[in-house]
Structure 1
Amino acid sequence: MTDSKQKAIDFTPMYASHDAFRRDLERLASAVADGRAATPAVGAGWENFKHQLHIHHTAEDSELWPRLRQRVAGRPRDLAVLDEMEAEHARIDPLLAAVDSALADRAPELPDLVRALGATLDDHLKHEEDSALPLMQDALTPADWAGFTGRMRETQGLRGAALFVPWIVDGAPAADRSAFLGALPPPVRVLNRLFWQSSYRRRGLWVQA
């Protein structure tokens, strides 16, 4: 267990990312229901969703879960949670591929596949929030968490951050938007306000024609 005097990990960016994944799948489901799945805006939104989810899950698999396994070694119940996290990631990948193919082929089963992906991902995110995040808070050190967030920043790079930050807050409630941006370094907030936000809007992800 971490030292009781140790500063708690701030999971605001993690929760914000989860909310953005849920939001994008709701937008996809709406586009499919409205017959807009083949539009460029929906295609661009879907491609970005896959990109962001890939970065998120890859960093968890390569940096977060291994660090946490080291901290909870000898604790079978906690190790079982990590096994479940990895198994859930593996179940999501084929659903992403199936939706990808159905979108390309305009297949009639697309609505069912989108619903299956949404339900599976939402179940995983809720499980992570309810079980894995408390475990991280209990067991990880600041250095462990910094290793994970550092891998995320390294993978995204400045160009990726210019998309990631405004994507996270796109359509977010004012309080959530403020909390997420408040957790970022001041220079990042300035870049987002002056440049990134307007560039993101021009991309028109998910926008109805």
Structure 2
Amino acid sequence: MTTDTIDLTVMYAAHDAFRRDLGRLAGAAADGTASSPQVRAGWDNFKHQLHIHHTAEDSDLWPRVERGAAGRPRDVALLAAMEAEHAGLAALLAAVDTALRDRSAELLSCVGALAAALDDHLTHEEDSALPLVQEVLTPADWGAFTGRIREAQGLRGAALFVPWIVDGAPAADRTRFLGALPPPVRVLNRLFWEAGYRRRGLWRA
């Protein structure tokens, strides 16, 4: 059992951004603007970010936690549930894709089903899996996991990820997230990345 605290700021900020984006998609579905290029670009980025997030958890984070929780069947079962919940979201994501493509009247209900399932998963993770992470992993373990995400993103991906996270975030949440990043990343975000992100106009119908 580790006594060192792991900084989960970026993890919680990513969860908030996923919830926020599905709220934006639901709003676009309700007001008839979901077929606009900016909304579609926002949806494509949401899927990309979610894929990176869940792939890194399944390939790197949960195996590390499972090793730390060896001999504890309930905790091992929890990690299996995390992976199963990830897999269960695939059909809901596909249903939204289909409804967007077909401009279906079912889009809003499809988005609602995805949002509910994703929120249930994220809440389960926050309430059960992340406390287990804090218990059995070291900061070095966590750093190896976040390093995997950084590798998957690359510099170009980071230039989108960082301003995407803080897009529309309350001031306190924005400050907390940016404060968890290395100073050079904060400088790049302030001088270049946020302006580039604004030019993309994601979710702006």
Matches of 2:106 and 2:38 in 1, distance apart? Answer: 21
Report whether the alignment pairs 1:51 with 2:11: no
Matches of residues 1-209 of structure 1 in structure 2 within 5 Å? 1-2=1-2, 4=3, 6=4, 8-208=5-205
Tell me the SS of whatever aligns to 1:207.
coil
Describe the superposition over 1:13-66 as per-residue Cα deviations: whole angstroms up to 9, x where unpaired: 000000000000000000000000100010000000000000000000000001
Letter of the 1:132 partner, please give it: A
Matches of 1:184 and 1:110 in 2, distance apart? Answer: 36
Cα shift at 1:143: 2.0
Cα shift at 1:80: 1.4
Letter of the 2:44 partner, please give it: E
RMSD: 0.7
Matches of 2:91 and 2:171 in 1, distance apart? Answer: 35
Aligned pair count reads 205
Cα shift at 1:197: 0.3
Matches of 2:128 and 2:152 in 1, distance apart? Answer: 26
Matches of 2:36 and 2:204 in 1, distance apart? Answer: 9
Matches of 1:16 and 1:143 in 2, distance apart? Answer: 20
Describe the superposition over 1:64-93 as per-residue Cα deviations: whole angstroms up to 9, x where unpaired: 001111110110111111011011101111
Give TM-score, length-normalised by structure 2.
0.99
| Higher mean displacement: 52-61 or 77-86 | 77-86
Matches of 2:9 and 2:138 in 1, distance apart? Answer: 17
Matches of 1:172 and 1:33 in 2, distance apart? Answer: 22
Q: Percent identity?
A: 74
Matches of 2:55 and 2:184 in 1, distance apart? Answer: 26
Tell me the SS of whatever aligns to 2:7.
coil
Give TM-score, length-normalised by structure 1.
0.97
Structure 1: runs of 5+ lacking an equivalent: none
Matches of 2:197 and 2:46 in 1, distance apart? Answer: 14
Cα shift at 1:192: 0.2
| Higher mean displacement: 27-36 or 71-80 | 71-80
Describe the superposition over 1:123-157 as per-residue Cα deviations: whole angstroms up to 9, x where unpaired: 00000000000000000112211111000000000
Letter of the 1:96 partner, please give it: L
Matches of 2:45 and 2:123 in 1, distance apart? Answer: 22
Letter of the 1:70 partner, please give it: R
